[in-house]
Structure 1
Amino acid sequence: MVGDPWLTIVGLGEDGPEGLPPASRAALEAAEVVMGPPRHLELLGPVGAEVVAWPVPFADGVAQLMEMRGRKVAVLASGDPFWFGAGTALARRLAPGEWRALPGASCFSLAAARLGWGLEGVACLGLHAQPLTRLRPLLAQGERLIVTLRDGAAVAALASYLCETGFGGSELWVMEALGGPRERVSQAKASAVAGGFGHPVVVAAELSDGPALPCAPGLPDELFDHDGQITKRPVRALTLSALAPRPGEHLWDIGGGSGSVAIEWLLTHGRNRATCIEGDAARAQRLQGNAARLGVDRLHCVTGRAPEALEGLEPPDAVFVGGGLSEALLDRLTALPGGTRIVANAVTLESEALLSAARARLGGDLLRIELAQAQPIGTRTGWKSAYPIVQWSVTL
């Protein structure tokens, strides 16, 4: 790190000062101020510097810390400050040379070491401030997870969630105060977990057989709560293929309905973002429930009608129009920056005419999707055709 940093972020384990390496000890001895959560300050014990307890909410402590520029400050954090820790939030507010970090062993490393698990094959999540539904895309037989939780009571909530989603046979290891004198490891099936766990707590899980979400686009329609306004599974798979999501991209889903396209977009990558525009308030609420249940509660929803509701939104990398197609909307979308991908599905002749005209002006591909499903006809079976769908896809 260039320069002489005024801030040192020190990773502290549950064994307190005894487990600190020489560099961390030296940083604490040289500090004018030691700042950290009350629990960490208690673990550290007496120091010669001024001691400041980190307040709640966290942002108040950041503002207080920034006022200490010019003094030698050491901030205490759990284990590795850059793995679901405070380090990331602090570093992005500081210039290079203002800070350095002296990490300790993370709780994930300690948990893996207790079980003999290779971390490269384990999904590690910080759920101390996130909903348990974030786990849903990861639940599949044989998968291994290590998660942090807000407190001991959350262990029972995690076990209940696994049972509710059909993974009650999963093996859990509940690890309290890892690396310290209070360390305790308990093992049980999710369906048999009892309470009484202390903080800090980490849970490792080896998942049993259960209803895993498919990895390919086109999730079963039954996974989405809807009132009939849903892009059906085969068409949705073709639509996702045309949208071609890439890591970190943002989607506008216009006429969100059940939110199925936006939800599947988000499931393709953890950094993807999506905004649904839905004119019906009940549908907007329903699609947000679908997103939360399937582990992508980061879905943003705007209740309103396009094109008016698009004003002020973060620009998209891709747009899906599943409803509300109009000439005014197409004019608004085709004014987006070059490189934006647009996919629009039409069922009516009027909407099909709009897409045909748009293709004549801007190019792109028109695809006619005609599907039929086998249905009983008396004692025999025949084909029942769905309404044909015309799909226009273009890169501006």
Structure 2
Amino acid sequence: MTPVPPAPTAAVTVVGLGADGWAGLPDASRTALREAEVLIGGPRQLDLLPPECAGQRVAWPSPLRPAVPGLLAAHAGRRIAVLASGDPMFYGIGRALAEETGALRVLPHPSSVSYAAARLGWPLEDAEVVTLVGRPTARLAAALHDGRRLLVLSADATTPGEVAALLRDRGFGPSRMRVLEQLGGDRERVTAESTADDWPASQPPGDPLNIVAVECRRAPDALRLGAVPGLPDEAYEHDGQLTKRHIRAATLGVLAPAPGELLWDIGGGSGSIAVEWMRTHPSCRAVTVERDPARAERITRNADRLGVPGLRVVTGAAPAVLAELPPPDAVFVGGGLTAPGLLDACWEALPDGGRLVANTVTLESEALLADAHRRRGGELVRLAVAHAVPVGGFTGWRQAMPVTQWAVRKTPDTSSGADR
């Protein structure tokens, strides 16, 4: 039999550190740090190492992520050890390193999240982890549901106060909060619990290494926001340009967002389609195009309030601005259908398997969708919603304007656009 060659030695070893520093490391991690010729980490992490770790010490510059390729290249051919907090592959530097090198060895330490769950007695699989490290506090809003438990990774000592303020603003003031500091170290501390409503605004900041544990409780008068598309219309600030709740739910159902996918939302209006696309999964992305600057600003406010501050808003007219956007997985056209070349530009931008959905209430745009359906196929439907309203002393139906919707999936058979 041909002998199996030994696995290649990893060029980079990533060592997870806890708040207990060197004392909390297992033998394998200590050996890797002693033998490293280059030690890369934050100043605080490097200071935790004893003199016996004699390698060259290199502090991460800021911003960190763009510096990774250059640092690895500068020390190529040497034994490199990178220091990380807790588990390097859980919101840590391990991801960036794995994207840059295929020769990576990871020696994890228990994460702060694991310590927090142990101290609280929370089954980790039943808690949602939200990181605010390098991210806006507003993204926490998408995770707020009555009865849910959240573990919030803090950016610094000011994060607990910002979390309390957001909970109050979003109608979750009764939520119970605890702050867990320096988990796993000699200075570990759990603050006394408080509700967000009672969180003292003048409370001095604690340790910057902390996790905020939140048990969500919605205030009785707060608007209920579910986990599926079709949020109440009252959840949005708008000037009348809003895809209404029932049509919105039907539209998102056809768009069928999946984790990691990117949506183009053309003619954003209030941004409701893009917002609810992104709320379906934390990794969903969206770009909304809106030519009216006031509406574009309103979309940004809606995205922030509803927990998806990462929504990209492009102020400009389609199709002119579309060439500047990254390729989409799906396109929704809610306005501007009569702009010359818009539908064709959206179609050409889609990859095979991509989806295009367009809604309209006008006869002129409906004619365009009927022609597109004839050429491309897909599904052409009319959506009608009526609401019960008072009629004198009785009740009757008031019909909203019907919406014509064309939905199609791009395949090799439909890509040519030839007459069918």
The equivalent position to 1:166 in structure 2, one of 171, 174, 194, is 171
Amino acid at match of 2:218: D
What is the aligned partner in structure 2 of residue 392 from structure 1?
A: 406
Displacement of 1:7 in angstroms is 1.8
- Contact kept, 8 Å, 2:176 with 2:193, in 1: the verdict is yes
The equivalent position to 2:293 in structure 1, one of 278, 281, 299, is 281
What is the aligned partner in structure 1 of residue 100 from structure 2?
A: 93
What is the aligned partner in structure 1 of residue 40 from structure 2?
A: 35
Q: Is 1:232 paired with 2:244? A: yes
Displacement of 1:61 in angstroms is 4.6
The runs of 5 or more residues in structure 1 that have no matched partner are none
Matches within 5 A, 1:355-370: 355-370=369-384
- Contact kept, 8 Å, 1:171 with 1:187, in 2: the verdict is no
Counterpart-to-counterpart distance in 2, 1:196 and 1:358 = 59
Matches within 5 A, 1:314-353: 314-326=326-338, 328-335=341-348, 336-353=350-367
- Contact kept, 8 Å, 1:155 with 1:197, in 2: the verdict is no
The equivalent position to 1:376 in structure 2, one of 361, 376, 390, is 390
The equivalent position to 1:69 in structure 2, one of 76, 83, 94, is 76
Q: Secondary structure at the match of 2:48?
A: helix
CA RMSD of aligned residues (A): 1.8
Displacement of 1:176 in angstroms is 1.0
What is the aligned partner in structure 1 of residue 130 from structure 2?
A: 125
Matches within 5 A, 1:65-214: 65-94=72-101, 96-97=102-103, 99-189=104-194, 190-193=196-199, 194-210=203-219, 211=222, 212-214=224-226
The equivalent position to 2:61 in structure 1, one of 51, 55, 63, is 55
Classify 1:191/1:87 alpha carbon distance in 2 versus 1 (closer, same or farther; 3 Å). same
Counterpart-to-counterpart distance in 2, 1:49 and 1:362 = 63
Q: Secondary structure at the match of 1:29?
A: helix
Displacement of 1:139 in angstroms is 0.9
Displacement of 1:192 in angstroms is 2.8
- Contact kept, 8 Å, 1:12 with 1:78, in 2: the verdict is yes
Q: Secondary structure at the match of 1:191?
A: coil
Deviates further, 150-159 or 334-343: 334-343
Counterpart-to-counterpart distance in 1, 2:244 and 2:151 = 35
Deviates further, 335-344 or 22-31: 335-344
Counterpart-to-counterpart distance in 2, 1:316 and 1:38 = 40
Q: Secondary structure at the match of 1:3?
A: coil
Amino acid at match of 1:192: D
Displacement of 1:19 in angstroms is 0.6
Q: Secondary structure at the match of 2:212?
A: strand
- Contact kept, 8 Å, 1:156 with 1:195, in 2: the verdict is no
Q: Structure 1 length normalisation: TM-score?
A: 0.94
Amino acid at match of 1:206: E
The runs of 5 or more residues in structure 2 that have no matched partner are 1-5, 411-420
- Contact kept, 8 Å, 1:33 with 1:73, in 2: the verdict is yes
What is the aligned partner in structure 2 of residue 252 from structure 1?
A: 264
Q: Secondary structure at the match of 2:193?
A: strand
Counterpart-to-counterpart distance in 1, 2:347 and 2:160 = 50
Amino acid at match of 1:388: P
What is the aligned partner in structure 1 of residue 304 from structure 2?
A: 292
Displacement of 1:370 in angstroms is 2.2
- Contact kept, 8 Å, 2:228 with 2:280, in 1: the verdict is no
Q: Secondary structure at the match of 1:308?
A: coil
Deviates further, 225-234 or 325-334: 325-334
Displacement of 1:102 in angstroms is 0.8
Amino acid at match of 1:270: P
What is the aligned partner in structure 2 of residue 9 from structure 1?
A: 14
Fraction of identical pairs, as percent: 51
Counterpart-to-counterpart distance in 2, 1:291 and 1:129 = 18
Q: How many residues align?
A: 394
CA offsets 1:3-54 (integer angstroms, 9 cap, x no match): 1123211111111111100000101111122221111122224332222222
Displacement of 1:186 in angstroms is 1.0
Counterpart-to-counterpart distance in 1, 2:12 and 2:260 = 31
Displacement of 1:116 in angstroms is 1.4
Counterpart-to-counterpart distance in 2, 1:337 and 1:313 = 14
Displacement of 1:354 in angstroms is 1.3
Deviates further, 264-273 or 209-218: 209-218
- Contact kept, 8 Å, 2:329 with 2:351, in 1: the verdict is no
